[in-house]
Amino acid sequence: MITRKSGWMDEDLEIFSDSVRKFFEREALPHNERWNQEGKIDRNFWNKAGDAGLLCVTIPEEYGGAGGDFRHEAVIVQQEQWTHFSGWGNGVHSGICAPYILSYGTEEQKKRWLPKLATGEMVAAIAMTEPGTGSDLQAVRTTAKRDGNEYVINGQKTFITNGQHADLIIVVCKTGDVSGGAKNISLVVVEADEVTGYRRGRNLDKIGLHAQDTSELFFDDVRVPGDNILGGDEGRGFYQLMQQLPRERLIIALGSVAGMEAAIDVTVDYVKQRKAFGKALLDFQNTQFVLADCKAEAVVARTFVDEYIARLVRGELTPEEGAVAKLWACETHCRVVDKCLQLFGGYGYMMEYPIGRMYTDARIQRIYGGTSEIMRLLISRAL
């Protein structure tokens, strides 16, 4: 069991962290293997998480949330890694979609959607990426055209986390000229059960995160009410997305820090009991040095990301710092897990050992939420 005390933790957060761990041990881990085989978690896990107060922890109580702050979100993210429960799309649901609605939604929108997200009655997804564009978000081609009191949405999205379960989808659309840039982008909310013309594609076959559903989504003349545009005004979508990015990137960075801590822990256990040439692997100086390097990288990453969490809670984290955190923590995560896997020898290549899953799960960290190359671009622009 991993317990680490960050400077931003307090006694209440310790208690919360313990209850999150117990919840995962009771409600998730017994099913983890099956969920990995089936490519998604059980739908009712969302409701159980809602009942346990784990959804929308940063959303005020008046909208059904737990009234916490980013630190509560952080506690959940790191317990997922520490307990080896990978593949729950709560980072998107509670960490991205709910804060979008809270930050930009009209009062009516907040009251309409947030309580359902907090109980798990609705599962949320954010649909930015399209088959033709990912990093270059301004090039999206999905359109939402005004027609009387409605918007008519046409287009296709791909790689959407929670795609199979989601019934509330924040869709990045062009409300203006489709070949135009940022000013033409709006966030339009689609309630899957309320519309026709919306279709989920297949659950995509990924190399990791096997229990997380990731899908293509199709929008074919999907009509939504005119007031489903987030915040009520057209053309603000790109600005809204950019505002939230430091927070989203810090969630991913923190997942990487906790992921490397978990990888080091399982590796230390393994090298203590595995023998070669008559002694434990840990007795070889190479093993000690490799793990010392990993530990040093994880401690630096932890200290650095903890400082940024404190900055975010104080409202000081800049977009550039969010990019630095994501770039450095995610690149380091992949390096550390790779070194750990090597110490397992052939067993590291077997999915029955947690290190194998940690390795394949880690690889996405350098890609989603903006690739490492895009992080470098953002950092270099601010030099």
Ligand X SMILES: Cc1cc2nc3c(=O)[nH]c(=O)nc-3n(C[C@H](O)[C@H](O)[C@H](O)COP(=O)(O)OP(=O)(O)OC[C@H]3O[C@@H](n4cnc5c(N)ncnc54)[C@H](O)[C@@H]3O)c2cc1C
* Region near ligand X per CB under 6 A, out of 105-113, 189-197, 230-238, 362-370: 362-370
Rank residues 21 and 157 by Cβ distance to ligand X and give the closer one: 157
Q: Please list every residue from 86 through 105 that binds ligand X, using CB under 6 A.
A: 92
Strand partners, 233: none
Check binding of 36 to ligand X (CB under 6 A). Answer: no
Task: Provide the CB-side half-sphere exposure for 345 (13 A, CA).
Answer: 7
* Region near ligand X per CB under 6 A, out of 18-26, 307-315, 350-358, 365-373: 365-373
**One of 154, 342, 371, 379 touching ligand X (CB under 6 A):** 371
Q: Please list every residue from 44 through 63 that binds ligand X, using CB under 6 A.
A: none
Q: Please list every residue from 113 through 172 that binds ligand X, using CB under 6 A.
A: 125-129, 134-135, 159-161
Check binding of 377 to ligand X (CB under 6 A). Answer: yes
Query: Nearest residue by C-beta to ligand X?
Result: 134
**One of 206, 295, 335, 363 touching ligand X (CB under 6 A):** 206
Check binding of 301 to ligand X (CB under 6 A). Answer: no
* Region near ligand X per CB under 6 A, out of 101-109, 261-269, 296-304, 360-368: 360-368
* Annotated catalytic residue 33: no
Least CB distance to ligand X at residue 215 (A): 9
Alpha-carbon distances, residue 136 vs 197, 320, 378 (angstroms) = 26, 18, 13
Rank residues 79 and 212 by Cβ distance to ligand X and give the closer one: 212
Check binding of 367 to ligand X (CB under 6 A). Answer: yes
Binding residues for ligand X, rule: CB under 6 A, are 92, 125-129, 134-135, 159-161, 206, 209, 214, 364, 367-368, 370-371, 373-374, 377
Residues that are catalytic: 248
